[in-house]
């Protein structure tokens, strides 16, 4: 029998700037699952890494510029939020309005339609962005206000791959076990959300089995499995997305390839020209002219 297990660590305290995440994780793992084992994969939500790094921002301190104010008038998106995206150095590739078809889907997926409606009314739209490091994000450059006090948001961690490596090296010193570490972040995909890998260390994020023979001996068109993303999606089953308060998962039993150099940045990000590819994909998959207009690509092009 082949088995892969996911353990959500429930004794992780609220993280604050300067906390040693490796020490906290090692202690919680010892208390809850008898410690970490060789080849365990430690998956952290990017948010606790941001908190430990002090990557927080108060919205009251943000002054919207001309570009943010212009796009806000056209889309209804909070200009402060737009300004934080620009301050990150991100480009907005498209703006997807929430009213209409998207709103109907959100309401149908919520147990409290009144609250869901209020959130849609407040947000108005979501920005598809591309970071200066080449990372695409489907939701406002990864800026996140959930599970923070009112008026405070977290920015994505600085250099997620290096952060994953630092945590991994410290964990291996503390435990004496060879491990892999992945940082997970939630992205929006058609009809819902999933957790994806933002940074990694000690694991080959992508399998290299393209063209290998299937059970009938034929070369298979496939096998480029996004292993790091798959592990993050699995971890999300124990993280929860609202008030669960579980920011670390331990994946045990996964037969992954150990790799000391491959990470998300150098393995899973596209090269030059990706920005235009994303825009063309958005256009090609919009299907109808009315929806294409609602993507507001022209509004973005006006200033970006």
CA dihedral (9, 141, 111, 101) positive or negative? negative
Options 3.40.50.620, 3.40.190.10, 3.10.580.10, 3.30.1330.100; CATH for 5-53+157-267 is 3.30.1330.100
Query: What pLDDT does residue 274 have?
Result: 57
Query: What pLDDT does residue 121 have?
Result: 85
Say whether 55 sits in a helix, a strand or coil. Answer: coil
Query: What pLDDT does residue 293 have?
Result: 53
Query: What pLDDT does residue 286 have?
Result: 55
Query: What pLDDT does residue 300 have?
Result: 58
Query: What pLDDT does residue 18 have?
Result: 96
Query: What pLDDT does residue 163 have?
Result: 98
Query: What pLDDT does residue 269 have?
Result: 79
What span, in angstroms and rounded, lies between the C-alpha atoms of 264 and 204? 9
What span, in angstroms and rounded, lies between the C-alpha atoms of 178 and 152? 36
What span, in angstroms and rounded, lies between the C-alpha atoms of 138 and 93? 10
For the chain, list residues with pLDDT below 70.
241-244, 270-304
Query: What pLDDT does residue 90 have?
Result: 93
pTM: 0.87
What span, in angstroms and rounded, lies between the C-alpha atoms of 37 and 33? 10
The four Cα atoms 241, 17, 138, 265 give a dihedral, to 10 degrees, of -120
Domain limits of the chain?
5-53+157-267, 56-155+271-303
Query: What pLDDT does residue 242 have?
Result: 55
What span, in angstroms and rounded, lies between the C-alpha atoms of 198 and 92? 19
Class of domain 56-155+271-303: alpha beta
Query: What pLDDT does residue 225 have?
Result: 87
């Amino acid at each position: 029998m082949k088995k892969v297990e996911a353990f959500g660590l429930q004794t992780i305290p609220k993280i604050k700037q300067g906390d040693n995440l490796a020490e906290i994780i090692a202690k919680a793992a010892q208390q809850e699952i008898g410690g970490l084992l060789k080849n365990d994969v430690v998956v952290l939500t990017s948010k606790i890494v941001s908190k430990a790094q002090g990557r927080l921002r108060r919205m009251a301190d943000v002054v919207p510029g001309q570009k943010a104010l212009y796009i806000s008038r056209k889309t209804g998106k909070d200009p402060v939020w737009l300004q934080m995206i620009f301050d990150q150095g991100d480009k907005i590739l498209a703006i997807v309005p929430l009213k209409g078809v998207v709103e109907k889907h959100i309401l149908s997926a919520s147990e409290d339609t009144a609250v869901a409606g209020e959130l849609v009314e407040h947000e108005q739209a979501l920005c598809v962005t591309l970071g200066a490091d080449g990372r695409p994000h489907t939701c406002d450059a990864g800026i996140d206000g959930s599970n923070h006090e009112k008026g405070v948001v977290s920015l994505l961690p600085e250099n997620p791959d290096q952060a994953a490596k630092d945590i991994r090296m410290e964990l291996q010193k503390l435990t004496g076990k060879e491990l892999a570490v992945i940082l997970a972040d939630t992205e929006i995909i058609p009809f819902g959300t999933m957790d994806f890998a933002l940074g990694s260390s000690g694991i080959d994020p992508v399998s290299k089995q393209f063209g290998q023979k299937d059970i009938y001996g034929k070369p298979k068109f496939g096998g480029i499995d996004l292993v790091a993303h798959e592990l993050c999606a699995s971890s999300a089953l124990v993280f929860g997305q609202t008030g669960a308060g579980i920011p670390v998962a331990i994946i045990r039993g996964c037969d992954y390839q150990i790799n000391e150099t491959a990470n998300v940045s150098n393995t899973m990000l596209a090269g030059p020209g990706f920005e235009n590819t994303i825009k063309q994909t958005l256009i090609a998959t919009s299907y109808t002219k009315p929806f294409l207009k609602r993507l507001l690509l022209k509004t973005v092009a006006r200033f970006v």
